[in-house]
Amino acid sequence: MDRRSFLKSSSLIAGGLALNSVINQAVAQNKSPFIIDEKHPLLLNFNENSLGMSANAKQAIIAALPGSFRYPDDARSELITHLGELYRLSDKHVTIGNGSSETIQATVAMLANKARKNNLKIQLVTPDPTFNYAELYSLPLGIEITKVPLKSDLSFDLDKMEQLANDFNGLTIIYICNPNNPTAMITPHSQLNKWMTKVSDKQFFIVDEAYAELVEDPNFVSAIELVKQGQNNLIVTRTFSKIFALAGLRVGYGIASPDVIATVDEFVSIDNTNTAGAIAAIASLNDKPFIAYSLKSNNLSRKIVEKALDELNLEYAPSQANFIFHKVKGDVKTYKQRMADAHIMVGREFPPAVGWNRLTLGTPEEMEQFVVVLKQFREKGWV
């Protein structure tokens, strides 16, 4: 299915056309046979973008290959400049990482070093469940880790997190994943800003916005806006792994004040960006039609799954990312194994949110196939 026909068909949803007819049209226009078997499993478990990178990014990589015997300094610098211009900030507000995970790791290491130099205790306050890399990077550094369970509606307990930070006699790292992984829910900026704008030299925020480009809820406002206002106790991390579909090329970045970036960069590896990744990232940023295509594909896939979950009366969290967190009747591990037996890989369980499963949104055609299997599971009494 080509990009133009897809955008045309998906836009009809807003005009009131029945969802089923749009889905059927999409499936009918897919000329390639769709096969799910042991050699071709449906991978809906790691929040990857099944569309693959844009054609422009592929061509940019091919064009750059003859120069790949050179170190990636020029490509890396060009990417930093593009990102600075994107957010109307200087190059000094940007750090590049081997995925956003390296930026998180470097920030945690920088803060641990700061605490050591100042003879301060240090803790990480993090929601639970959430993306756990900040926690994993804190463990070998001896950072005290305090997990705050999500509230009954799966939202962050920001009041409890703030209280823990305020009561701690030392330096606190606060990790905020927005939208959160695994729930796919946003935390409205009005709630976050009540705390984050209370600037403190004893509290530092890592705001992970890996899925920000997929958000359409106006209650979400990027924490990059606080960086623009000069706030100096946070870093915002982003990635090219999600909407841009470059997960395998490992390109991420952080946005913060120049002072913060300078100290974080002391802890990132030298030459941490490969030429192909940097060139593909630049091409992806410039490919506005692909970004729109990727977003519309994700939205249509979400509607397909939500419709099925509504029909089956299975509860799900409001998603603003490329995955859906939904309930499963029965044991989640058993459900996951049964899906694997059907050659569909779904996410794991995320305690303490027991009974929920994280499902990556693939292409609309892939999600149609998932729905068929899910409904078969209902017929068998498995969900």
pLDDT tens-digit profile of 222-263?
999 999 999 999 999 999 999 999 999 999 999 999 999 999
On the question of pLDDT at 346 being above 90, the answer is yes
**Dihedral over Cα of 298, 303, 304, 306: its sign:** positive
Phi-psi category of residue 28: left, alpha or beta, with phi > 0 → left and psi -120 to 50 → alpha: alpha
* Averaged confidence pLDDT in the chain: 92
What Cα–Cα distance (Å) separates residue 14 from each residue in 40, 44, 135, 374?
A: 33, 26, 41, 26
**C-alpha span between 220 and 209 (Å, rounded):** 11
- Amino acid identity, position 364: P
On the question of pLDDT at 2 being above 60, the answer is no
On the question of pLDDT at 11 being above 60, the answer is no
On the question of pLDDT at 22 being above 90, the answer is no
The per-residue pLDDT for 343 is 97
C-alpha closest to that of 132 among 145, 120, 144, 123: 145
On the question of pLDDT at 368 being above 50, the answer is yes
On the question of pLDDT at 9 being above 80, the answer is no
Lowest mean per-residue pLDDT among 5-14, 26-35, 119-128, 175-184: 5-14
Burial of 305 from C-beta contacts in 10 A (0-12 / 13-18 / 19+): buried
On the question of pLDDT at 23 being above 80, the answer is no
Average pLDDT over residues 289-307: 98
Residues 26/311, Cβ–Cβ less than 8 Å? no
Average pLDDT over residues 288-297: 97
The DSSP 8-state label assigned to residue 36 in this structure reads -
Residue 205: in which H helix or E strand, if any?
Answer: strand 203-208
Share above pLDDT 70 across residues of the chain, in percent, rounded to a whole number: 91
Omega before residue 188 within 30° of 0, cis: no
Q: Per-residue pLDDT tens for 57-116?
A: 999 999 999 999 999 999 999 999 999 999 999 999 999 999 999 999 999 999 999 999
pTM, to two decimals: 0.91
The DSSP 8-state label assigned to residue 108 in this structure reads H
User: How many CA atoms lie less than 13 Å away from 246 in the CB half-sphere?
Assistant: 33
Average pLDDT over residues 39-60: 96
On the question of pLDDT at 320 being above 90, the answer is yes
Residues 272/67, Cβ–Cβ less than 8 Å? no
Average pLDDT over residues 30-48: 81
Q: Dihedral angle at the C-alpha atoms of 184, 191, 154, 349, nearest 10 degrees?
A: 50
**pLDDT grade for 199, boundaries at 50, 70 and 90:** confident
Q: Per-residue pLDDT tens for 304-316?
A: 999 999 999 999 9
The DSSP 8-state label assigned to residue 105 in this structure reads H
Residue with tokens 């962050």: 156
On the question of pLDDT at 5 being above 90, the answer is no
The per-residue pLDDT for 34 is 65
In this structure, what token pair is assigned to residue 240? 């090219």
**C-alpha span between 54 and 266 (Å, rounded):** 33
**C-alpha span between 379 and 383 (Å, rounded):** 9
Q: Per-residue pLDDT tens for 141-180?
A: 999 999 999 999 999 999 999 999 999 999 999 999 999 9
On the question of pLDDT at 330 being above 50, the answer is yes
The angle at the Cα of 53, spanning 51 to 55, to the nearest 5 degrees, equals 105
The per-residue pLDDT for 1 is 44
**pLDDT grade for 37, boundaries at 50, 70 and 90:** confident
**C-alpha span between 307 and 309 (Å, rounded):** 6
Strands 94-97 and 42-44: unpaired
On the question of pLDDT at 132 being above 80, the answer is yes
**pLDDT grade for 124, boundaries at 50, 70 and 90:** very high
DSSP string, 303-335: HHHHHHHHHTT--B----SSEEEEE-SS-HHHH
On the question of pLDDT at 10 being above 50, the answer is no
